[in-house]
Chain A
């Protein structure tokens, strides 16, 4: 360019050859920003154009023009326009979009050919960078992040301290509660359920309790225990950060009082709503585990008692059961009654001191029967289990909630009798009465047997109780032996004790059925003992080579026994010089008559009497 100047001094204007310096490297070398090319500057400029704006403006111009032209024949078109008015805007918009779409299609088509048009990406200008603000921003952001981290670590350290230090946190306690009890969150409160509904109970009384945070106690002392099982034991005296609110009807302690009484005098005192044991001095501060257990026990006892009371009213025995206040009275045998009472000690029931003493006396008279109480609990739990453990139906479409036998009833055409048998089930009260009757009968029989075994020295009576027994059936084996000759003669009996009857089975298979009266068993045993005496003599006589002349198990002569029959044996000595007649009666005992030979001088029989 400069080569052209020859004659005159040309002043040339040109762009500064130096470009903007981008960077100066350490060795002083300058790196320039490359100038933008022609096409680049074009694209940059093109980018600035707002095409949509242009469109809008053009449209406005157009519409203005259109309005002017249309005004002339406005009257003619007005009717038509008004009809189409609601759809007009939609129509125009659709038309515009169609136009734009067609234009776009055209542009795309042209661009695809690559002969007339090329599409190039536009390079965006890099945003202006200001080092200082960037550094400031980064610093601030880092500061914020550091703060969050520090805050978090602080909280972690605090909770860690809490965990290791003494104060048992509410959450930890809550977790422990949750392990053993059903909890749910309702609005802002945490409610728990004590009831046995999930275990099959149908008792309606609700057992809802509420879990609360103990606000007073922030800085507690003492070690923290996380094992829920032993928590109740170890925390009994300490204060916990958690507090359970139990409804008033479930507070206190409760148990079912079962006793069997002989006389009917005590019938009058029937109110048992009295504290049964000294109440806890720490009633307000007992650990939640103990509190909940006690409350659940109260609920269980209440359910048990209400079930029993309902059954007592429904059942129609010959001697009706009585339900008075908190006590059920049932007659087991004439003169012997079963008392079942619900004892519930509550903090509010402080004013019942005289009754308490009355009950103490009553209890001294007849001890509370723990075994029967236990079996009552067991019976109710069995009922619960039976409620929920019905077999599932097969095929799966069959109806739910019928036992297997009931399902078979239709297809197998059960008779009415067997159907009735199906629905027949013993109620709790009936079962506990049976168990109580059995208990009474067993104790009575034991007393009878023991007294006979003590009285009767000569044939020894040995009683073996069967180790296996159940709540309504016990069995024993009775051996009667003569002292010194145990192996020679032994009489064995099996005695089965049921609920209202006793069965005595002899060795030869005879069965004697006895009622609940104890003297019947005495009579039978005395008879057996007297027969044993005679049979022992018989076996001895063989051993001593005495000759048995006659024997009679049921003697028809002589004095009439008050009870049963006497039996007798007549035997002669080996030499034949003496004859013995021995009579053994259940009541009269053993009598021995000795007779010399008829030829002998002294012919009158002498009598020896033994018992």
Chain B
């Protein structure tokens, strides 16, 4: 019976629909309270998480020495639950239709490939030629509403590389992310996300963020 939800979901979701926003630490508790009311499993305490995420990059050299686009993958591990498998994730760039350019879409869309791995993932990546780009630690709470996942997380900078216990917060705010993985073309789910984001409106503005513009600033 426990498998029934996953049997509804397709085996390989190809697209991630997501919206992002941020909230100041002082108002975080109000947001958590609101999310507890809105999301499923209200009777239990919100699920906390404490993850370590490392971003690896490989710069391939193509035929004739032409520099290829670097490829990044994210290896993450739960620090709270070391028995859980590691997680390797590839996320593509936000699609043009999902960014602020196209107003018709309600959420940002990007390709993503998820795979659970054993704990020797890092060695494997290094053997393949990947190099560590940056790493960070996230702490926060996550919620579920149907197929949507809501995370309220604080991002920490790792002071000493590889040591996840010496960390310092990046900012005084929390990252709020609403995401959903679905096969390509299911744009209706984005509207559901938009409706949900509307319900959090005065507290946090979950919206499409054009990352290319952020990089140019």
Chain A residues within CB distance 8 Å of chain B? 198, 382-383, 386-390, 392, 394-404, 406-408, 410-412, 422-423, 425
Which residues of B are found within 8 Å of A402, using beta-carbon distances? 6
Distance, CA A21 to CA B175, complexed state (A):
74
Among B24-32, B76-84, B160-168, B206-214, the stretch that binds chain A is B76-84
Q: How many A-B residue pairs have CB under 8 A?
A: 98
| A–B Cβ pairs within 8 angstroms, 10 of them | A386-B1, A386-B4, A390-B2, A392-B49, A395-B84, A396-B78, A396-B153, A397-B51, A411-B86, A411-B118
Distance, CA A402 to CA B4, complexed state (A):
9
Which residues of A are found within 8 Å of B81, using beta-carbon distances? 394
Which residues of A are found within 8 Å of B2, using beta-carbon distances? 386, 390, 403, 425
* Among B3, B40, B85, B140, contact of A410 (Cβ-Cβ < 8 Å): B85
Interchain CB contact under 8 A, B116 and A398: yes
Which residues of A are found within 8 Å of B1, using beta-carbon distances? 382-383, 386-387, 425
Which residues of B are found within 8 Å of A403, using beta-carbon distances? 2-3, 6
Distance, CA A407 to CA B86, complexed state (A):
10
Distance, CA A400 to CA B78, complexed state (A):
15
Closest to A408 in B: B85
Which residues of B are found within 8 Å of A406, using beta-carbon distances? 3, 6
A386-B4, A410-B117 known; A395-B87 Cβ under 8 A = yes
Interchain CB contact under 8 A, A407 and B142: no
Closest to A403 in B: B2
B6-57: which residues lie under 8 A (CB-CB) from chain A? 6-7, 9, 13, 40-41, 47, 49, 51-53
Pairs of residues from A and B, 8 with the lowest C-beta to C-beta distance, nearest first: A394-B78, A395-B51, A411-B85, A386-B1, A392-B47, A395-B76, A411-B118, A394-B81
Closest to A392 in B: B47
Interchain CB contact under 8 A, A397 and B85: no
Distance, CA A395 to CA B78, complexed state (A):
4
Secondary structure type dominating chain A contacts: loop
Interchain CB contact under 8 A, B3 and A425: yes
Distance, CA A605 to CA B23, complexed state (A):
105
Judged by a CB distance under 8 angstroms, whether B147 is at the interface is: yes
Which residues of A are found within 8 Å of B149, using beta-carbon distances? 396, 400
Judged by a CB distance under 8 angstroms, whether B110 is at the interface is: no
Judged by a CB distance under 8 angstroms, whether B203 is at the interface is: no
Q: Mark B92-107, 1 if CB is under 8 A from A, else 0.
A: 0000000000000000
Which residues of A are found within 8 Å of B140, using beta-carbon distances? 396
* Given A387-B5, A401-B6, A423-B7, 9 further pairs, Cβ under 8 A: A392-B144, A394-B84, A395-B53, A396-B153, A399-B13, A408-B85, A410-B116, A410-B117, A425-B2
Minimal beta-carbon separation of A306 from chain B (angstroms)? 15
A397-B89, A398-B87, A401-B147 known; A411-B153 Cβ under 8 A = no
Distance, CA A473 to CA B203, complexed state (A):
54
Interchain CB contact under 8 A, B116 and A407: yes
Closest to A428 in B: B1
Closest to B120 in A: A411
Distance, CA A519 to CA B116, complexed state (A):
55
Closest to B1 in A: A386
Interchain CB contact under 8 A, B80 and A394: yes
Interchain CB contact under 8 A, B147 and A400: yes
Distance, CA A499 to CA B34, complexed state (A):
48
Interchain CB contact under 8 A, A422 and B3: yes
Closest to A198 in B: B40
Distance, CA A411 to CA B85, complexed state (A):
7
Chain B residues within CB distance 8 Å of chain A? 1-7, 9, 13, 40-41, 47, 49, 51-53, 74, 76-78, 80-81, 84-87, 89, 114-118, 138, 140, 142, 144, 147, 149, 151, 153, 181
Interchain CB contact under 8 A, A397 and B144: no
A392-B142, A397-B74, A398-B114 known; A407-B4 Cβ under 8 A = no
Minimal beta-carbon separation of B192 from chain A (angstroms)? 14
Minimal beta-carbon separation of A142 from chain B (angstroms)? 40
Closest to B80 in A: A394
Distance, CA A400 to CA B76, complexed state (A):
15
Minimal beta-carbon separation of B89 from chain A (angstroms)? 6
Distance, CA A147 to CA B145, complexed state (A):
51
Interchain CB contact under 8 A, B87 and A388: no
Distance, CA A135 to CA B36, complexed state (A):
59
Which residues of A are found within 8 Å of B52, using beta-carbon distances? 395
Minimal beta-carbon separation of A412 from chain B (angstroms)? 8
Distance, CA A397 to CA B51, complexed state (A):
9
Distance, CA A408 to CA B86, complexed state (A):
10
Closest to B13 in A: A399
Minimal beta-carbon separation of B155 from chain A (angstroms)? 12
Minimal beta-carbon separation of B92 from chain A (angstroms)? 15
Closest to B40 in A: A388
Closest to B151 in A: A396
Residue of A395, A401, A404 with most chain B CB atoms under a 10 A cut-off:
A395
Which residues of A are found within 8 Å of B115, using beta-carbon distances? 410
Which residues of A are found within 8 Å of B13, using beta-carbon distances? 399
Interchain CB contact under 8 A, A399 and B117: no
Which residues of A are found within 8 Å of B9, using beta-carbon distances? 401
Interchain CB contact under 8 A, B144 and A400: yes
Which residues of B are found within 8 Å of A412, using beta-carbon distances? 85, 118
